[in-house]
Structure 1
Amino acid sequence: MSGARDAEGADDQTVVDQLVSLLDLEKIEENIYRGISPEHSPVRVFGGQVAGQALVAAGRTVPAERGVHSLHAYFIRGGDPSVPILYEVDRIRDGRSFTTRRVVAIQHGKAIFALSASFHLAEEGIEHAVQMPDVDPPESLPTLPERLSGVEDRLGIHARRRPIDLRYVNDPPWVTRENGGREGRNQVWMRADGRLPDDGLLHVCVLTYASDMTLLDSALARHGVYWEMDKVLGASLDHALWFHRPFRADEWLLYDTESPTASGARGLATGRFFDSDGRLIATVVQEGLLRVL
């Protein structure tokens, strides 16, 4: 790990430990959990946070030997980071090999997020996967603070430090926008910026948290615009994730994303996570609201 310290003096492991604490929900009652937001939060709760916390709530009601294999979620309202979020779990089904859970996140008496997750008892079966793109290794690439040098003030919350170490393989979108955009593809190596406990559910939830980062950038990149550098209003609308193989979220994963289409003020983005051995470990699809003013 880099051992870097942020402006408030927190080192990498401390920031990751804060993420682990963020995902460690308080049990209020059977099937009801409470989560909080970080002290220094943007105006709305980060989508990856509420998705990760909701998945933790679902997982707490499922036997440990059944791992998450998919989730489908809708972002209904913007979350308020100043108050706790309640997560209500509905135990839809407990089958012989599959378990299904539905989670609703509630603030101020209203649903802000809904998630359905499926868990599967590990089985043997056929195996195949697409190949990982040929990219430079993460250790050879600039760190995110190096990439952000000179533009931090213009990016606002998008330059705020998070517990995920990001290394852009290609030029980041705030660079390519100066050249009028590029093909809608974004490739980023990422990992938790510190060591995580040996808890399979936690690693899946950390990846769920991270999967909401950089994904919609691939839609904006086609048009040479980028969040706070331009007049862009955006929000995640729905999010789907399929987990294919075991992994650790504190080891390097390549997030290869692209945007096949955008229309009607909405952009679609797809992503694939590969580990450093080239194994496809997860697939992501998200549609987001993208209003370029």
Structure 2
Amino acid sequence: MANRVTLFEPPPLDATRAPIENVLDLTPVVDIGPDVFTNTRPLWHPPGARGIYGGAAIAQSLAAAMRTVPTDFAVHSMHCYFVLAGDSEIPILYHVERVRDGRSFITRTVQARQRGRPIFTTTMSFSKANSGGEKTLQHAASMPDIALPKEPTPGSRRTFDQTGGGPFESKKAGITNRASSNAEDKKVRRFLRARGKISETGGHQANLSALAYITDSFFIGTVTRVHDIPRFTSPQELERALNALKNPSDLDDEDIARALKELKEEEALELRRRLEGALSKVTAEKNKADRKEVGMMVSLDHSIYFHNQWAFRADEWMLTEMESPWAGEGRGLVLQKIWSKDGVLIATCTQEGVVRLKQDEKPRSKI
């Protein structure tokens, strides 16, 4: 059991399911209790992160709770707290508590534990399908008028196999009001979707788990993005982040290299822009004094409101739009809307996290 990444030996990947279904697979731990589950496969530790990718804990907690709920119920809200950084080198146990079972709504809490301590906790509410009645109030925010990404030519798109491939893919869709001096005016957009095709046996539960997993991607980083602060400010920092990578079960070397190359290119442009005009020592010192660098960035809480739970597929393109209405006191808040490819609003999310900048060194005493 010492240094064991998973509690049980992982089975072979199921080729009939989408990659994200394999990544989020759970195994019941009947020796501990009827509503206790563990991660079937190793979990991803992103480069530079303090622990596992938060979306895994969110999605696996949801998947665990859904195993205790009838299939004609679907999650409509989920409120999460990240308590401790998850360690990708030891198993996680998900304990589900059946708080209430009503005719229209069901409530569950899930606590993810490592070494007997909670690292993540969430409370979820499920609603029964068509329980709102024939007459309902309806309105929804409209999807921005952005063309869907073009599909690659046949044979050019790399498919997932047992040798690797991330569970979802993304494409940039621009930043609105990018030139604005007000960070709160900017909106960061991306297209996201799960790779492959989510299986029919996985049903709407698999699509909801996949969506939950994806919601944590690029989320709290929006705070620094709207301030035009790069996450890494030198190739050395990128190298350290890469060396810290653990159990990259979600990404293969090609995906990691591509992501870091993209990051390097973006940040090289930013660094070049900062250095332009540094023609004197005075200018250089001023640039150094004005420079802002990320010291710590970690999620504290994460909420998802699911809309139209049966009206989307997570393996089709979804548009996400993120904005940060506030940052201060070493924290930042981000709001996120997600639309299906058909323009249906399928989720609204919020996340608050610690966002601290590196502080200037205090002048040392000459005495």
TM-score strictly above 0.5: yes
Letter of the structure 2 residue corresponding to residue 119 of structure 1: F
Matched, 1:283 2:348: yes
Separation of aligned partners in 2, 1:240 and 1:139: 31
> Are residues 46 and 98 of structure 1, via their aligned partners in 2, closer, same or farther at CA, if it must alter by over 3 Å?
same
Deviations 1:248-275 (A, max 9, x none): 1001110011000001111100011111
| Corresponding residue of 1:7 | none
Letter of the structure 2 residue corresponding to residue 194 of structure 1: G
Separation of aligned partners in 2, 1:39 and 1:237: 19
* Structure 1 residue 36, shift from structure 2 partner: 4.9
Asked whether the 8 Å contact 1:181–1:224 carries over to 2, the reply is no
* Structure 1 residue 37, shift from structure 2 partner: 5.4
Asked whether the 8 Å contact 2:37–2:93 carries over to 1, the reply is yes
Matched, 1:227 2:199: no
Which consecutive residues of structure 1, in runs of 5 or more, have no partner in the other structure? 1-12, 142-159
Deviations 1:129-150 (A, max 9, x none): 1111122322289xxxxxxxxx
| Corresponding residue of 1:191 | 193
Asked whether the 8 Å contact 1:181–1:221 carries over to 2, the reply is no
* Structure 1 residue 122, shift from structure 2 partner: 1.3
Asked whether the 8 Å contact 1:37–1:81 carries over to 2, the reply is no
Q: What secondary structure does 2:29 align onto? A: strand
Q: What secondary structure does 1:169 align onto? A: strand
Deviations 1:197-234 (A, max 9, x none): 12111111111110000122321122211323343411
> Are residues 255 and 40 of structure 1, via their aligned partners in 2, closer, same or farther at CA, if it must alter by over 3 Å?
closer
> Are residues 195 and 265 of structure 1, via their aligned partners in 2, closer, same or farther at CA, if it must alter by over 3 Å?
same
Deviations 1:94-148 (A, max 9, x none): 001100000000001100000101111012422211111122322289xxxxxxx
Higher Cα Rg, which structure: 2
Asked whether the 8 Å contact 2:19–2:166 carries over to 1, the reply is no
Matched, 1:164 2:168: yes
Moved more, 35-44 or 88-97: 35-44
Deviations 1:162-208 (A, max 9, x none): 32110111169xxx89x999653210011012111121111111111
Higher strand share: 1
Query: What is the aligned-residue identity percentage?
Result: 35
Ranges of 4+ aligned residues in structure 1 off by more than 4 Å: 179-183
Matched, 1:207 2:214: no
Asked whether the 8 Å contact 1:219–1:267 carries over to 2, the reply is yes
| Corresponding residue of 2:60 | 53
Q: What secondary structure does 1:134 align onto? A: coil
Return the TM-score normalized by structure 1: 0.81
Q: What secondary structure does 2:213 align onto? A: helix
Matched, 1:127 2:138: yes
Which consecutive residues of structure 2, in runs of 5 or more, have no partner in the other structure? 1-13, 153-163, 234-292, 359-367
Separation of aligned partners in 2, 1:117 and 1:291: 30
| Corresponding residue of 1:116 | 123
Letter of the structure 1 residue corresponding to residue 231 of structure 2: W
Give the root-mean-square deviation of aligned CA atoms: 2.6
Asked whether the 8 Å contact 2:74–2:129 carries over to 1, the reply is yes
Q: What secondary structure does 1:170 align onto? A: strand
* Structure 1 residue 22, shift from structure 2 partner: 2.4
* Structure 1 residue 40, shift from structure 2 partner: 5.9
| Corresponding residue of 2:299 | 236
| Corresponding residue of 2:261 | none
Moved more, 250-259 or 221-230: 221-230
Asked whether the 8 Å contact 2:104–2:127 carries over to 1, the reply is yes
Asked whether the 8 Å contact 1:227–1:233 carries over to 2, the reply is no
| Corresponding residue of 2:80 | 73
